[in-house]
Amino acid sequence: MCPGPANGYQGTTVAYYDNGVVTGTISIVVPCPASYMNEAHNSWVLRSKYLGTPIPDGLGPVIDPFGYCS
């Protein structure tokens, strides 16, 4: 859903873990490169947290590493 509700943020990623499966949603309110890249990265962070998979962009478990849209 883009743009979508994000509780006042420019974008949000929500993950759900159940029986070894991660599902979730990404909402983008401010469509700009930082929002898209942050939420893609954040989804990898959450997947890594629940499944132990690597974070492919090499930025580690930091949230919103690409800053914010102006």
DSSP state string for 3-24 = S---TTSSEEEEEEEETTEEEE
Whole-prediction pTM: 0.84
Other Cβ atoms closer than 10 A to 3: 13
Residue 2: is its pLDDT beyond 50?
A: no
Radius of gyration of the chain (CA): 12
48-69: pLDDT as tens digits:
999 999 999 999 999 999 999 9
pLDDT given for residue 5 in this prediction? 62
Structure tokens at 70: 């102006």
Beta-carbon contacts of 61 under 8 Å, excluding residues fewer than 6 positions away, are 45, 48, 49, 55
User: What pLDDT digit, counting tens, does each position of 8-38 carry?
Assistant: 789 999 999 999 999 999 999 889 999 999 9
